[in-house]
């Protein structure tokens, strides 16, 4: 079987690896364009491109897939497999090739580009992976096979995505080697998990501590969560629920004994690891040593979608 594989982040890598291990012929790897990073404009390859180069596979990196379709349409292939590619497949492509997708949720829940993050945001105890037929409408295709993944208290986006991608790779091979009947999605149960927007990277302490900690988990290790205090932006990488009891208002900061606490509407959380703009990531006890930008009584600003 000749396969065009389309994927970009780490989530996609185990899927492509599994196809190669099972001797499927990968005739083209389609992944997002390279990125430029830092002042020196260092070229950053996607994880999928790195693997494709290692395996000496043909690589195609369209800026806009819909404008560069001929490169793919002219390929001799039996199937397209997508796994977190990052662009919508044009209708013309789906008419030319049969296509299946490895999606990081138990569809019809969490259609969209950030299903793993939203499973953590919402505090779910389990999620899963769906192998589905591709349709022109986002993540609306028929379900071929699904598998569940438990979410532990220690999971963040990185650890959960890794477990789900391994499961997704195994499910995909079962589908390619088996004979499964597709079933329609129940449109009444559809929910969405669109790509994370900038304002969703800010922590909101005007909800319960459980919501705050879950939101952070969905943003780790990158881009991490952001808080704003006195107009200054800080990245937060680690927080835990605190057992201290003190009369405080939501968003209020308490600093004592080189420790930093913030009140949610319910409990108080302790910030363990933080990063100021232009500085390196630090433990709070080291960050607070000599700094004057944060003090007890300050408040975390509440952000909105106009950020």
Using CB atoms within 10 A of its CB, is residue 133 exposed (0-12), middle (13-18) or buried (19+)?
Answer: middle
Question: What residue has token string 């569940």?
Answer: 148
Take residue 19 and report the two structure tokens written for it: 């196809």
List the binding residues for (6S)-5,6,7,8-tetrahydrofolate: 105-108
Q: What is the pLDDT of residue 207?
A: 86
Task: Kindly report the CATH number assigned to the domain that includes residue 81.
Answer: 3.40.50.170
Estimate the crossing angle of helix 13-21 against helix 157-177, to 10 degrees: 30
pLDDT over 90 for what percent of the chain?
91
Question: Are residues 223 and 145 located together in one domain of the fold?
Answer: no
Report field, pTM of the whole predicted structure over 0.85: yes
Task: Tell me how far the alpha carbon of residue 13 is from its chain's centroid.
Answer: 14
Residue 292's pLDDT is what?
A: 81
Q: Are strands 282-283 and 225-229 parallel, antiparallel or unpaired?
A: unpaired
Q: Does residue 295 form part of some domain?
A: no
- Which of 189, 209, 233 is the last residue in one of the domains? 189
Which residues does the annotation place in the binding site?
105-108
DSSP state, residue 12? G
Residues 168 and 263 both lie in one domain: no
For residue 280, being part of any structural domain is answered with yes
Answer yes or no: is 163 within a domain. yes
**pLDDT less than 70: residues of the chain:** 304-307
Contact 193, 124 (CB under 8 A): no
221: tokens are: 């290790």
Answer with the one of 138, 170, 189 that is the final residue of a domain. Answer: 189
Domain holding 246: CATH number? 3.10.25.10
Is residue 98 located within the same domain as residue 142? Answer: yes
Q: Please give the pLDDT value at position 306.
A: 53
Model confidence over 68-118: pLDDT tens digits?
999 999 999 999 999 999 999 999 999 999 999 999 999 999 999 999 999
| pLDDT tens figures, 130-146 | 999 999 899 999 999 99
> What is the DSSP pairing of strand 59-60 with strand 225-229?
unpaired
Residue 145: inside a domain, yes or no? Answer: yes
Residues 84 and 7 in one domain: yes
Containing structural domain, residue 16: 2-189
Q: Are residues 174 and 220 in the same domain?
A: no
């Amino acid at each position: 079987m000749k396969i065009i594989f389309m994927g970009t982040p780490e989530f996609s890598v185990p899927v492509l690896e599994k196809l190669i291990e099972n001797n499927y012929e990968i005739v083209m790897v389609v992944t997002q364009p390279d990125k430029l990073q830092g002042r020196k404009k260092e070229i950053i390859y996607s994880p999928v491109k790195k693997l494709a180069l290692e395996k000496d596979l043909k690589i195609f990196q369209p800026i806009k897939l819909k404008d560069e379709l001929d490169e793919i349409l002219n390929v001799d292939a039996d199937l397209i497999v997508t796994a977190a590619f990052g662009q919508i497949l044009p209708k013309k492509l789906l008419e030319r090739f049969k296509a299946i997708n490895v999606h990081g949720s138990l569809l019809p829940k969490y259609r969209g580009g950030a299903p793993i993050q939203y499973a953590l945001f919402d505090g779910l105890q389990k999620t899963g992976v769906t192998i589905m037929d591709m349709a022109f409408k986002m993540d609306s295709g028929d379900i071929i096979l699904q598998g569940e993944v438990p979410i532990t208290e220690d999971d963040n986006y990185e650890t959960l995505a890794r477990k789900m991608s391994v499961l997704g790779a195994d499910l995909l091979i079962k589908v390619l080697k088996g004979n499964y009947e597709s079933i329609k999605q129940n449109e009444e149960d559809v929910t969405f998990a669109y790509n994370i927007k900038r304002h969703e990277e800010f922590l909101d302490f005007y909800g319960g501590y459980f919501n705050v900690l879950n939101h952070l988990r969905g943003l780790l290790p990158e881009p991490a969560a952001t808080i704003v205090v006195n107009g200054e932006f800080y990245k937060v990488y680690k927080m835990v629920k605190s057992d201290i009891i003190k009369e405080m208002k939501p968003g209020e900061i308490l600093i004592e004994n080189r420790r930093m606490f913030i009140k949610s509407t319910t409990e108080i959380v302790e910030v363990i690891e933080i990063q100021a703009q232009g500085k390196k990531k630090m433990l709070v006890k080291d960050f607070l040593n000599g700094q004057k930008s944060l003090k007890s009584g300050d408040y975390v600003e509440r952000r909105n979608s106009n950020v």
